[in-house]
Chains A and B, each alone.
Chain A
Amino acid sequence: MSVDMSQFYQTFFDESFEGLDIMESGLLGLDIGAADAETINTVFRAAHSIKGGSATFGFTVVAEFTHLMETLLDEMRDGTRMVTEDSVDYLLKSVDCLKELLTAVQNESEYNEAFVEEVKAGLERLLHGDDVPVKVDGEVSDSSTSKPEIKGWNIEFKPAEYLLKTGNDPVRLINELSLLGKIETVCCIDNIPLFSEFNPELIYLSWSIVLHGNVQKEKISEVFEWVDDDADIVLTCIGGEQEQNNEEVSGVEVAAPVAPTEKIEVQAPVEKIEASLKSEIHDTDKKSSLKKTPKDQSSIRVSIDKVDDLINMVGELVITQSMLGQLGENVTPDSIEKLQDGLAQLERNTRELQESVMRIRMLPISFAFQRFPRMVRDLSNQLGKEIELRLLGEQTELDKTVMEKIGDPLVHLVRNSVDHGIETPDEREAAGKPRMGTVELNAFHQGGSIVIEINDDGKGIDKDVIFAKAVEKGVVNANDSLTDEQIFDLIFAPGFSTAAVVSDVSGRGVGMDVVKRNIRELGGTIEVKSEKGKGSTIIIRLPLTLAILDGQLIRVGADTYIIPLISIIESLQVKKEQISSIGGQAELYKLRDEYIPVVRLYETFGLKPDSEELVDGLIVIVEGDGSTAGLFVDDLLGQQQVVIKSLETNFRPVEGVSGATILGDGTVALILDVSGLINLSRQSSERAA
C-alpha cells in the first residue's frame, strides 16, 4: 500500500510552528538555575514531536537539527545538565533556526545555511564541550563480507510463564519465524502442572524449533526482539563445516559451542559508525531532502463549540425555510401574518448564522502577542535595559486576517517603546523611577472594534523636539500653532524620525508612516498620547472583521453609496450663512467653532444630483485620518450591515472608494473611503488654488 505522505505535511507544519511557539514561550519562562522540570519537559516534547514528524515525513535537515536540540533538552530534563543562560540563548536561537528551516521546507525555498550551521556548531559545542566531534576516516568494519553459508538454526524457545500478559503470543512468533524458512517444531509439555494447579493465563510450554535455510541471525533476533526479556532463547547455528556463530544478544543464552567458533566482529567503534552516518547525511544533497510540499495554505483551528453552533444555526435555518416553503405553497390572506413572522425569523437566523461564521475566523490576540516576550527579552539584552513586558487581554478575539496584518505594525510599535521609550536603568534611577521599565500591551473590545494599547512608562515624547523636527523637515511652519494631538500625529509623517542616534533597533525613519498606513488599510485608527517623563500610550482601534461593515446608505442623484458608520459623526441640514468659501473655490462649513471642508460627492463622482444647492440636501460630517469633512449628499437612506467585496480583486483600486457591496435589490453600491475622499478633495482644491 502506498500512502501519499504529502497530505500530512500541512498538519505537520501547523503543529510544528505551534510547537515552536510553545518552545519559545517555555524557554523564555525558564528560570536560570532553578528551571521547572515540567516546563523543560514541555519544551522537550515539542522538539521531540517536530523531530519525529520531520523524520517520518522525510525532512532530514529538520530532523537532524532537532535531534541536537532534543539531546540537549534531554540532558537538562535528566538533570545531567544545568540550565544556563548560555544554553537557553542557544536553544532560543535554535528555535529561530528551526523556524527558518521549516519555512524553507514548506515553501521549497533556500534557507540561510550559514546561520543554521552556526547554531548547529554552537549546539554541538554545548553538547560535546570544546572537542569538535572527530571525523574518523577509514572504513567501518564490514560484517557481511565473510558471512559463512548457514544451513539453518536450532532454536530453543522457552517463554516466561507470564508472556501472554505482555500481549505477545508464542504462536504468532512461531508463525512469523515460519516466514523466514521451513520450520519443524517440537513442543515440550513437561512443565504442564496438574489440573488443580493449572492457571489458564500462564504458558507452560516450550518449543524446540529447527529453521532451515540460509537465514541471517539478525532476522531471527528481529522476530524475538520484543520477547528478549520475557523468554529464554537459545540459537545454535547448523553450520556447513565449522562455522558456527553464537552471539550474545541481551537475554539470549548462548549454547556451548559444539565446534570451534569464530566470532564475527561487529562491534565497530561507535564513533566510527556515527561518523559514517554523519558523512552520509552530509552527502545527500541538501535540496533533495527538501521534499515537495503543498504551498502555504492557510488553515485555521476552530473549536468544536463554534462548529456546533454553526450546525445548530443551519438546522434552524432549514426549519425556517421549510416553514416558509409550506406557507408559500398555499397563500391565503390569513397567512400573510405568518409569512411575516417567518421572514422575521429568517432574518434572525441569517444574522445569527452570519455571526457564527464570523466567529470562526476569530482568534485570540495572543497569537499576535506571543512573539513579544522573546522580542522584548532580546532587545532589552541588546540595549542594556531592564524591561518587564505585561500582556493583558490576550483572549480578546480578532479576525484572523486583521491579526495577520496587525502583527508587523505592533512589532514596530513595541520596538519603538523599548528602544526610544524606556530609558536605561541608570537614567530611570536618576529620574526617580524604578530601574525596571514596563511595557504593557492591552487588548479589549469596545463597541464594534478592538482596541490595542501599547503603554510604556518611559521618557515620553517631547512635543518640542517633535515640533522642531517637523519644522526642520518642512512638514509644518514654525509659527503654526498645533494642538498636542496634532503634534503627536506628526510622528506618523513619512520620513519622520527623531531618534538622536539611529540604532539598529529602530529609528531609521521608515516605519511610523507605514504603521499608520497599514492600520488605515485595515479600516482602523491610531492615536498617540504621551506625557514627557511619564511615558506614552499608543492606541490602535481596529474593526473586528474586514468582511462586514456597518454602513449608512446615502443617495446622490440616482446612485446609492455606503459610508462606514464608524466614520460618521453626525448628519445635518445646513443653513446658507454657515457656508463660506475661500477664493470662490473651497467651501467651508462652520460646524460650531470649527471650519470643515465640504465635499460635494456629485462632483467627485461626476453625477447629476437632485440639487446643487447645499441647503437642499444634507451634510454628513465624517472623520477619517484625523481630519473632518462634510459630505454633501441628496438623502440618507437606511443603515445596514454590508458584506465588503474588494474592488482591487474584482476591478481595480479606485481612490475614494474602499470596496463595493451588493444591496438587497441586487444593485451594486460603492463603499466610500472617507480618508481617501478627504485627501482627494484636498488635492483638487490645492490644484484649483
Chain B
Amino acid sequence: MAKILAVDDSASMRQMVSFTLKGAGHDVQEACDGAEALKIAQTGTFDLVLTDINMPNMDGVTLIKELRALPAYKFTPMLTLTTESGAEKKAEGKQAGATGWIVKPFSPDQLLATIKKVLG
C-alpha cells in the first residue's frame, strides 16, 4: 500500500483515479490544483504524486518543480497526467523533475499498471 497524492482540476478524473487507486488498496489524497497539492504535500509525505498539467492557480509543472525542491520529495516518484498531444508537455514535466507520465485517456487498469512501474 502506498500513499498517493492525486492532483487534477477535473473532479471526474480525480474521482476515477482516486477510486481506482483506493480499490487497489492505496491511500489516496486528492487536490484540485497545484497550490492545494503543495499545501497538502507539506503536511506529510507521499510515496507517489500524480498530477495533471494544466490547472488553475498552480500548474503541474510548477508543482513538480516546487516539490522537487523540498528535501522530502527529492526522490519521490512524480507522474504527470498528460494528453497525447502534449509531447512538449512531457518534456517540460521531465525537465521540472517528473519521473514519467501517463498518457490520457487511460483506463483504470493502465493506471494501475503504470504506477506499479514506479512503486515496484
Binding site for B on A (CB under 8 A): 1-3, 5, 7-9, 11-12, 14-15, 41-42, 44-45, 48-49, 51-53, 55-57, 63, 67, 70-71, 74, 164-169, 172, 175-176, 201, 225-226, 229-230
Contacts of A3 in B (CB 8 A): 16, 19-20, 23, 108
| B72 interface residue (CB < 8 Å to A) | no
B16 touches A5 (CB 8 A): yes
Nearest chain B residue, comparing its CB with the CB of A41: B54
A225 touches B12 (CB 8 A): no
| B2 interface residue (CB < 8 Å to A) | no
Nearest chain B residue, comparing its CB with the CB of A42: B56
Q: Report Cα–Cα, A3/B112, bound state, in Å.
A: 11
B108 touches A15 (CB 8 A): no
B99 touches A166 (CB 8 A): yes
Q: Report Cα–Cα, A42/B107, bound state, in Å.
A: 26
Interface of A is mostly: helix
A11 CB, nearest partner CB in chain B, Å: 4
Contacts of A12 in B (CB 8 A): 12
B117 CB, nearest partner CB in chain A, Å: 6
Q: Report Cα–Cα, A11/B13, bound state, in Å.
A: 9
Nearest chain B residue, comparing its CB with the CB of A38: B56
Partner of B75, one of A2, A70, A167: A167
B12 touches A167 (CB 8 A): no
| B44 interface residue (CB < 8 Å to A) | no
B98 touches A176 (CB 8 A): no
Partner of B10, one of A1, A15, A175: A15
Nearest chain B residue, comparing its CB with the CB of A67: B85
Nearest chain A residue, comparing its CB with the CB of B19: A3
Which 5 pairs from chain A and chain B are nearest by CB? A167-B99, A226-B100, A55-B105, A12-B12, A167-B77
A52 touches B10 (CB 8 A): yes
A1 touches B20 (CB 8 A): yes
Nearest chain B residue, comparing its CB with the CB of A223: B117
A165 touches B97 (CB 8 A): yes
B94 touches A229 (CB 8 A): yes
B57 CB, nearest partner CB in chain A, Å: 11
Q: Report Cα–Cα, A8/B12, bound state, in Å.
A: 6
Contacts of A48 in B (CB 8 A): 54, 83
Contacts of A167 in B (CB 8 A): 75-78, 97-100, 118
Contacts of A169 in B (CB 8 A): 118, 120
Q: Report Cα–Cα, A310/B74, bound state, in Å.
A: 43
In the complex with contacts A15-B11, A52-B105, A172-B118 CB distance below 8 A: yes
In the complex with contacts A1-B108, A1-B109, A226-B83 CB distance below 8 A: no
- Other than the given A8-B15, A45-B55, 6 more pairs (CB < 8 A) read A8-B16, A56-B104, A57-B12, A63-B105, A168-B77, A168-B100
A56 CB, nearest partner CB in chain B, Å: 4
B13 touches A52 (CB 8 A): yes
A88 CB, nearest partner CB in chain B, Å: 21
Q: Which of B13, B15, B52, B120 has the most CB of A within 10 A?
A: B13
Contacts of B107 in A (CB 8 A): 56
B98 touches A166 (CB 8 A): yes
Report 20 cross-chain contacts, Cβ distance below 8 Å, ordered by A residue.
Answer: A3-B19, A3-B108, A41-B54, A45-B54, A45-B55, A49-B10, A52-B13, A52-B52, A53-B12, A56-B13, A56-B104, A57-B12, A63-B105, A165-B74, A166-B97, A167-B75, A167-B98, A167-B100, A168-B118, A201-B74
Nearest chain B residue, comparing its CB with the CB of A70: B85
A49 touches B77 (CB 8 A): no
| B70 interface residue (CB < 8 Å to A) | no
